[in-house]
Amino acid sequence: MGASSAASFKQSLWYETAQEPAILGTSFPGSMDVDVAIVGGGFAGCSAALTLAESGASVALFESQEIGFGASGRNGGQVIPGAKYDPSELIAKFGQERGDAIANAVGGAPDLVFDLITRHDICCSPKRAGWIQAAHAPMALKRVLQRAEEWRQRGVDVEVLDAATLAKRTGVHGYCGGWRDPRAGTIQPLSFVRGLARAAIAAGAQIFPQSPVRSMKQEEGRWLLTLPQGEVRARAVVVGTDAYSDDRLVPGLSRSLLLVQSIQLATEVLPDELAKRILPGGECISETRRLAFYFRRSPDGRLVFGGRGAVGDALRPNLFDSLLGAMKRMIPELADIKITHRWSGQVGLTLDGLPHIHEPAPGLFVGGGYNGRGIALATLMGQWLAYRAHAGTPPPLERTKLAPIPWHAARKPIIAAGIAWAWTQDRMGFGS
Ligand SMILES: Cc1cc2nc3c(=O)[nH]c(=O)nc-3n(C[C@H](O)[C@H](O)[C@H](O)COP(=O)(O)OP(=O)(O)OC[C@H]3O[C@@H](n4cnc5c(N)ncnc54)[C@H](O)[C@@H]3O)c2cc1C
């Protein structure tokens, strides 16, 4: 295992099993002039590149490592609709019209992902078998059943699951019940982001991996981006660096987010007997616990199991041991299973639980803060930012001021205290 979260990219199951080849990109000509420059080669950046190229804009995307190196290439692959807030909460927060528009957009975001996969023939094992949200306590069950009812009233064919049905469908005993959202599904995430980049190139975008943008400034009404290889001029810039942002590029951006590692492990391919009992229907699942575990079957029949990791870049073997212990407690039949892969990545959290859109200067469009739901939301954000940069179309989610979190410098002890508080709430039965 790599000593750092960043380096664990190549230890992931997704890296070893990617069906879409790595994007080699074009060699940088030394200087170029485009309509829109994009920084970051994850779902947001690649989706923006594809949308812009299809709209006829000239577009160049710069990724400091390889396409998918950030969270997009290493996540759980659970394509889940919605954001932290339920539709009624969004309406209470933003008013009827805007709240409705946001609820429809975030609820429909998995459609965007699965449509892109079909339209561009992306080889990423899409499976739309739904997402189960399992309640760990009676109070949390009450909340998820309200959530299910809200989506049912908006036309979603939700399924309410009692404890016995949930145990049969997941192989995990002990949940109080839950619901299944049929809009969700699973993908091989690294293959999806590489496929998006491939589609963007086919539509005319230029993509440059191993190309870190070191600085950018406005000059004579255009943006000037500096890379080790040369300079780029652009009318507009889209930034999709989320939890991998560097404050030197967009001042205040990385301090506007809280980062926490999410860690994952993959088992060997499950023997037939276990495969029949653990998520045989292919759903993905996450829990209502604030420090939730999430798991799914991989396309080749393993169990991929994830949970909360450390703050910072160091990989903590003891947290992987705790994750493994939790998995075995929840599914005792896995006591002797071999673990083949362990890896982690950074999740960008916002204080209000919503993704953020910033426009800190004319022609600069920044999106991030998906709070662990970025497959659908960052792909959608990429489209939103592309339409905004190209045609000025405002996204349904209001843009917010780029404001660093005031206590960001002291975040480690504060997050540690927050995690301790979340443990307490989990034990008391509250849920998210
Ligand atoms: C372990 C883990 C599990 C997760 N599980 C799920 C899940 O199951 N479902 C879900 O919906 N979401 C999940 N998420 C969240 C989701 O992966 C992210 O929200 C999403 O990938 C963010 O996409 P992005 O394009 O905004 O950023 P990223 O994919 O992080 O891409 C940002 C990119 O910007 C590049 N970059 C940074 N600075 C520069 C620069 N100066 N120049 C050039 N390039 C730069 C980085 O190298 C990086 O590749 C998970 C996240 C993690 C870490």
Q: Which atom of ligand 1 is nearest to the CA of 80?
A: 11
Q: Which atom of ligand 1 is nearest to the CA of 249?
A: 41
Q: Which atom of ligand 1 is nearest to the CA of 368?
A: 26
Of 368, 331, 317, residue with least CA distance to 346? 368
Residue 431 in this model has a pLDDT that exceeds 90: no
Residue 432 in this model has a pLDDT that exceeds 70: no
How many angstroms separate the Cα of 63 from the Cα of each of 129, 148, 211, 232? Answer: 32, 39, 5, 14
Average pLDDT of the chain to the nearest whole number: 94
Which of 13, 14, 23, 64 has most ligand 1 atoms within 8 Å of its beta carbon, as the pocket-test mutant?
64
Q: Which atom of ligand 1 is nearest to the CA of 345?
A: 53
293 CB within 6 A, ligand 1 = no
Domain ranges (residues) in the chain: 6-428
Residue 218 in this model has a pLDDT that exceeds 80: yes
259 CB within 6 A, ligand 1 = no
43 CB within 6 A, ligand 1 = yes
Residue 364 in this model has a pLDDT that exceeds 70: yes
342 CB within 6 A, ligand 1 = no
The better pLDDT of the pair 149, 408 is held by: 149
The whole-number average pLDDT for the span 209-237 is: 96
Residues belonging to the chain: 432
Question: How far apart (Å, rounded) are the C-alpha atoms in residues 34 and 32?
Answer: 7
Residue 392's Cβ-side half-sphere holds a number of Cα atoms within 13 Å equal to 1
Residue 429 in this model has a pLDDT that exceeds 70: no
Q: Which atom of ligand 1 is nearest to the CA of 343?
A: 1
* 426: helix, strand or coil: helix
52 CB within 6 A, ligand 1 = no
Confidence class of residue 234 from pLDDT cuts 50, 70 and 90? very high
Cα of 177 vs centre of ligand 1, distance in Å, is 31
Please check whether residue 377 is in contact with residue 385, taking contact to mean a CB–CB distance below 8 angstroms: no
The whole-number average pLDDT for the span 179-207 is: 98
Q: What's CA 395's distance to the chain center, in Å?
A: 19
Residue with CA nearest ligand 1 atom 10: 373
161 CB within 6 A, ligand 1 = no
Residue whose pair of structure tokens reads 């932290």 in the numeric block: 84
**Consecutive H or E run containing 159:** strand 159-162
Q: Which atom of ligand 1 is nearest to the CA of 240?
A: 26
Cα of 427 vs centre of ligand 1, distance in Å, is 30
At residue 409, the pLDDT reads: 74
At residue 424, the pLDDT reads: 63
Q: Which atom of ligand 1 is nearest to the CA of 262?
A: 1
42 CB within 6 A, ligand 1 = yes
Neighbours of 427 (CB within 10 A): 11
pTM reported for the whole predicted model: 0.96
The whole-number average pLDDT for the span 21-38 is: 94
pLDDT digit string, tens, across residues 87-112:
999 999 999 999 999 999 999 999 99
The CATH code for residues 6-428 is: 3.50.50.60
The whole-number average pLDDT for the span 259-287 is: 96
pLDDT digit string, tens, across residues 168-192:
999 999 999 999 999 999 999 999 9
At residue 151, the pLDDT reads: 97
pLDDT digit string, tens, across residues 2-26:
589 999 999 999 999 999 999 998 8
Cα of 348 vs centre of ligand 1, distance in Å, is 8
- % of residues, the chain, pLDDT over 70: 96
Q: Which atom of ligand 1 is nearest to the CA of 65?
A: 47
* 236: helix, strand or coil: strand
Residue 1 in this model has a pLDDT that exceeds 60: no
At residue 116, the pLDDT reads: 98
Please check whether residue 200 is in contact with residue 46, taking contact to mean a CB–CB distance below 8 angstroms: yes
Residue with CA nearest ligand 1 atom 3: 75
Residues with Cβ within 8 Å of 382's Cβ and at least 6 positions away in sequence, in order, are: 43, 44, 45, 46, 47, 48, 49, 50, 51, 238, 240, 367
pLDDT digit string, tens, across residues 293-333:
999 999 999 999 999 888 899 998 988 998 999 999 999 99
pLDDT digit string, tens, across residues 276-298:
999 999 999 999 987 789 999 99
* 3: helix, strand or coil: coil
Residue with CA nearest ligand 1 atom 35: 40
At residue 422, the pLDDT reads: 67
69 CB within 6 A, ligand 1 = yes
Which of 5, 63, 211 has most ligand 1 atoms within 8 Å of its beta carbon, as the pocket-test mutant?
63
Regarding beta strands 339-349 and 356-358, do their DSSP bridges make them parallel or antiparallel, or are they unpaired? Answer: unpaired
